[in-house]
Structure 1
Amino acid sequence: MTASTTRIDVSFLSGGERCRAWLYLPTGAVTPPPVVVLGHGLGGTREMRLDAFAERFAQAGIAALAFTYRHFGDSDGAPRQLLSIRRQLQDWEGALAFVRGRSDVDGSRVALWGSSFGGGHALTVASRHPELRAVVAQCPFTDGVASAMATRPAETLKLLPYVVSDLIATVSGRRPVTVPIAARPGEVGLMTAPDALPGYAEISPADVPFVNAAAARVVPTILGYRPGRRLRSITFPVFVCVSNSDSVTPAGPTLRYATTARRARVKRYVAGHFDFYTGVVFDELVADQTAFLAAHLEPGGTG
């Protein structure tokens, strides 16, 4: 029998602005349950299947906070579609502070869960918080240069005129110059793998359409972002879920970084990057993740 859950609309402050979120609570919990914080990838919002993972965790007795970054979805932040690594990491910190301040969850038993670009963020934040109990990194972005090479350098170079125009817009106070987050191979976009555009369409609900745009100024910071290096600094258990045929966040660099971790569990899945969110792969993945989180978030678990 599947346990019931309760979903609450909540929000928390980050940099003086509001991030909107859903808090999933196991129904009928006698004592405050442990909690996992979930964040998405490039341009993703909580409606894009974070709710599916969060609900399954709550059904297993683990509260879950699924949030949307500032500048995206229904969270605050202007200009819209500003993809800032620094601000998104602040949002993760705001989410942590929020769950620790609530009486209906156990703020001493907290884990992180991040997917794709959010997987890189989860590793970065985890390395700063040794008091956490566990972290799940799902098809994580671990190395900007490696991801750019997977996209093909020539397609990355197509972004440069947009980056320059957006930086000029920043200085002059004009609206951002945006590029598509996902595009077809050969087109201009942050992700041009064959499965990127169909993948976003697959995980976006009809009533909350995906806004396929991000301020171009983020490109240099993505290239320089290497959160995989943080794995060696994480002292508690890490579950790294790797897509064998990942065309967005290549498996090779992630597997190499994982060898530097102190307490990593690595599992490889026969699936593409976007296959993780739906169907039979999702069922296998979320079952593995639930078992991992339950083992390390229980009162006597190994943190």
Structure 2
Amino acid sequence: MTTRLPFVRHDVSFPSGDSSCAGWLYLPSGVASPPVVILGHGLGATRDMRLDAFAERFAQAGIAALAFTYRHFGDSGGHPRQLLSIKRQLTDWDSALDWVKARRDVDRSRIAVWGSSFGGGHAITVASRHPELCAAVAQCPFTDGLASALALGPVASLRMTPVLARDLAARIRGKAPVMVPIAASPGSPALMNAADALPGYQALVPKGKTFRNEVAARVIPTIAAYRPGRAAKKVVMPILFCVSDTDSVTPPAQTLRYARTAPHGEVKRYAAGHFDFYTGETFEALARDQVEFLTRHLAPLPASSAS
């Protein structure tokens, strides 16, 4: 059995755009200048919704990890709250990379990105724009807005039109955003209404914490138009696609088609749902596969060799 290294978690923040992102930096103990992986979450989720579990496994393998929360959510800055902007979130990723590259306690030449769900789509986009990265992981990634919209269903999509119109009007008038649920029961208007979406989100919330299940409705047309899977063909470093065979949110067939276009893409498939990826036996399988992939491409030194 592989020895798991101890680690130290630091509360950190870094500037991004007009505000800042809050994060946790995990540093493996006894490893000088470890490689580092940056982790970002999905739609409206914050880093305490199981990003910490993955970051801990990476740190135990000798890989430093920065798990951060996007602006406008959780304890990160940014106003108005619950604003989901693809452009701003991609800026947050770039800002995280800049912050990591300025640090002296990690190896700035060995950096990877890791994203899950909507963040998995971002990881593909970021990797395509940063050829200096050593590796990328896209977990149950959102790769095609049109495919996800079709999975949502036309009736539910149409039912969000009035709230979208009200939010766009509020934006023009400088008023507070009009919100739409992130996850809801089947048939209800929301960004996700698959049967496992709402209970899946709720299962990720730590005990004693709350989760704001809403975002500004103005994001709806930009999500539908976002197709980060198209950038896979431009990802020059090794990228691991972890795909749910029964994914109800990010249709796996389209993701697999995009994955095949990545020059150095690797695919792992799991007989588990989108929200099963974060807990239980499926999480354990994912963590093992991702640690193996990142170790292979980042080559962390064992603590005894780094001391």
- Shift in Å at residue 299 of structure 1? 7.0
Aligned counterpart, 1:196: 197
Q: How is 1:209-228 mapped onto 2 (pairs within 5 angstroms)?
A: 209-228=210-229
Does residue 243 (structure 1) correspond to residue 244 (structure 2)? The answer is yes
Q: How is 1:121-160 mapped onto 2 (pairs within 5 angstroms)?
A: 121-160=122-161
Worse-superposed segment, 254-263 or 61-70: 254-263
Does residue 206 (structure 1) correspond to residue 207 (structure 2)? The answer is yes
Distance 2:226 2:123 in 1: 13
Aligned counterpart, 2:230: 229
Distance 1:124 1:145 in 2: 17
Q: How many residues align?
A: 299
Distance 2:16 2:207 in 1: 28
Compute the TM-score of the two structures, normalised by the length of structure 2.
0.96
State the secondary structure of the residue aligned to 2:169.
Answer: helix
Aligned counterpart, 1:168: 169
- Shift in Å at residue 156 of structure 1? 1.0
State the secondary structure of the residue aligned to 1:81.
Answer: coil
Aligned counterpart, 1:7: 9
State the secondary structure of the residue aligned to 2:9.
Answer: strand
Distance 2:49 2:134 in 1: 26
Aligned counterpart, 1:28: 30
> Does the 8 Å CA contact 1:47/1:208 hold for their aligned counterparts?
no
User: Once the two structures are superposed, what CA deviation does each residue of 1:106-133 show, in whole Å capped at 9, x if it has no partner?
Assistant: 1110000000000000100110000100
Distance 1:45 1:186 in 2: 26
Aligned counterpart, 1:40: 41
- Shift in Å at residue 208 of structure 1? 2.5
Q: How is 1:70-81 mapped onto 2 (pairs within 5 angstroms)?
A: 70-81=71-82
> Does the 8 Å CA contact 2:18/2:78 hold for their aligned counterparts?
no
Aligned counterpart, 1:294: 295
Distance 1:207 1:103 in 2: 35
After TM superposition, the runs of 4+ consecutive aligned structure 1 residues lying more than 3 A away are none
Distance 2:207 2:170 in 1: 32
Distance 1:2 1:110 in 2: 21
Distance 1:85 1:4 in 2: 35
Aligned-residue CA RMSD (Å)? 1.0
User: Once the two structures are superposed, what CA deviation does each residue of 1:143-168 show, in whole Å capped at 9, x if it has no partner?
Assistant: 00000111111111111111110000
Aligned counterpart, 1:89: 90
Distance 1:59 1:299 in 2: 11
Fraction of identical pairs, as percent: 63
- Shift in Å at residue 57 of structure 1? 0.1
Distance 1:296 1:264 in 2: 13
Distance 1:105 1:158 in 2: 48
Distance 1:41 1:292 in 2: 21
Compute the TM-score of the two structures, normalised by the length of structure 1.
0.97
Unaligned residue ranges in structure 1 (runs of 5+): none
User: Once the two structures are superposed, what CA deviation does each residue of 1:3-28 show, in whole Å capped at 9, x if it has no partner?
Assistant: 21100000001003110000000011
One-letter code of the match for 1:187?
A: S
- Shift in Å at residue 207 of structure 1? 2.7
State the secondary structure of the residue aligned to 1:241.
Answer: strand
Distance 1:48 1:107 in 2: 27
Distance 1:130 1:271 in 2: 32
One-letter code of the match for 1:40?
A: H
One-letter code of the match for 2:25?
A: L
